Amino acid sequence: MPNLNVNKNGLTPEQAEIVTQTLPVVGANIEKITPNFYNRMFAAHPELIADTFNRGNQKQGAQQKALAASVATFAATLVDPDAPAPEELLSRIGHKHISVGIKPEQYPIVHKHLFDAIEEILTPEVFQGAVRDAWDAVYLEMQRVLIDFEKGLYDDLGVEAGDVFRAAHVVSREERGDDVAVFSVKLDDETPVSYLPGQYISVRQTMPDGAGQLRQYSLVGGEEGVLTFAVRRVDASEDLPAGEVSTQLWEKVQPGDAIEISLPAGDLVLDTKSDDPVVLISAGIGATPMIGMLDALVAADSKRDVVVLHADRAENTDALRAERNNAVSALVNARQQVWYEPDLMDLTDVDLPEGAQFYLCGGNGFLQAVRDQLAKRGVNRNNIHFELFSPNDWLLDA
C-alpha cells in the first residue's frame, strides 16, 4: 500500500498563524458553508451529483458537511505541533475516492467552489487576500498528498486514474430476513479480482432519471472470480430518505442481471502477516467486513486468538449469523459473544486478549460507545481500527 507523506511544515509561519486564528470561525460556520458549497458545485457540474456523490447522503445535513469538515480537520493537524499526522483521515478518504473513481482534475473543482462558499459566508472582508492564500496552502497540501496516495492505489490496481468500474453479472442472490440480500457477482470478462479481507466495492445502479448512483458494500467472501456482498435495504424514515441503491438492488436485481461494480478498496483490512490476537466488533450490517476477515482467517487455518463480538436488533435480523458461527467453529482459538436488543454491548466482563488488534464497524453512536469502553479497559488507541461507511466517519476523532 502506498505511503502518505504529509508535510506538517508545508505552511509558512505567517500562514499557520492565520489558519490558527481563523479555524474556529470556519469550523463554527460549516453548517452554513456546506449547502452553499454543494449548491455552487452541483450547479456548475451537475454530473457530480448524478454520477459521483450519493444523493441520499446529500439530503442528510450531518453527512453533507463531511468534505468541508475534512479540510478543517486537516488544517487543524497542520497548525497544531502536537497533533498526529492525519494519515488515518487521509487514508480513509483516499480509499473512498478510489472506490468511486475520483480523478486528479476533480480536486480544483472542489477547491474553487468550497473556497468561494467560505468567502461568501465569512464575507470577502474576512476571507480574502492573505487569509484565503493561507487556506489555499492548506487545501493544496491536502490535494497533493491525496493525489499522490491515490495514484499509488491506482498503480497497485494496475489501472489509470478513475478506471475502476467493471461490467459484471449476478450469479446468485439469497435473501436473509426481511431486509438483507446477499449477492454474488462475477466480472463479465472473468478477470480474477483479488481483495484484502475487510475491503469493499462500490456498486453503481442506474436510477429511473438516468443518474448513476453509488454505494459501498463490504465483501463477505469470494472465490474463483466471484465476489460476494450483503445489502441491507435502507427504508425511508421521518428524517432520512430511502437508500436509492440498496432499494433498487433489493427490489429489482436478480441472478443473471447485469451489474456494475468497482475494483476493491478500503483500508480497514486484517493484517494477515501478524500473529497478534484479533478482536472483531460490529453492530448490524457492520458485520460484513468482519465476515470477510473471518473468511480469510479460516482459509489460512489461522491459530490466532480471535474474539468476535456482535450486537444486533434480534436473532432473526442477524443476517450473517450463520457465516459468523461457521467461521468461529472452524477456528481453533476463536470465541464469540452476541448481544440482542434491548441489551447493549457491554465489554466490562469480556475477556480481551493482551496485545490484540481491534477492528470495529457500525453506526456512529455504536462506535463512540465501544471506543469509550475500550479506552476504559486501557486498550491502546493505535490498536483500534474502525469503519463506519458514512462520509463523515473521520469526525469520530474530533
Other CB atoms within 10 A of residue 354 CB: 7
Are 198 and 359 in contact by the 8 Å Cβ rule? The answer is yes
Grid coordinates given for 389: 461507511
CA distance 386 to 239: 26
As annotated, the active-site residues are: 107, 150
CA proximity to 146, closest of 108, 119, 195, 115: 108
Q: Return the residue matching grid coordinates 435502507.
A: 234
Biggest CA pair distance of the chain: 66
Vertex 54 angle, CA 52 and 57, to 5°: 150
How close are the terminal C-alpha atoms of the chain, in Å? Answer: 26
Q: Return the residue matching grid coordinates 497544531.
A: 80
CA distance 321 to 15: 53
Q: How far is CA 7 from CA 77, 83, 115, 303, in A?
A: 11, 13, 22, 40
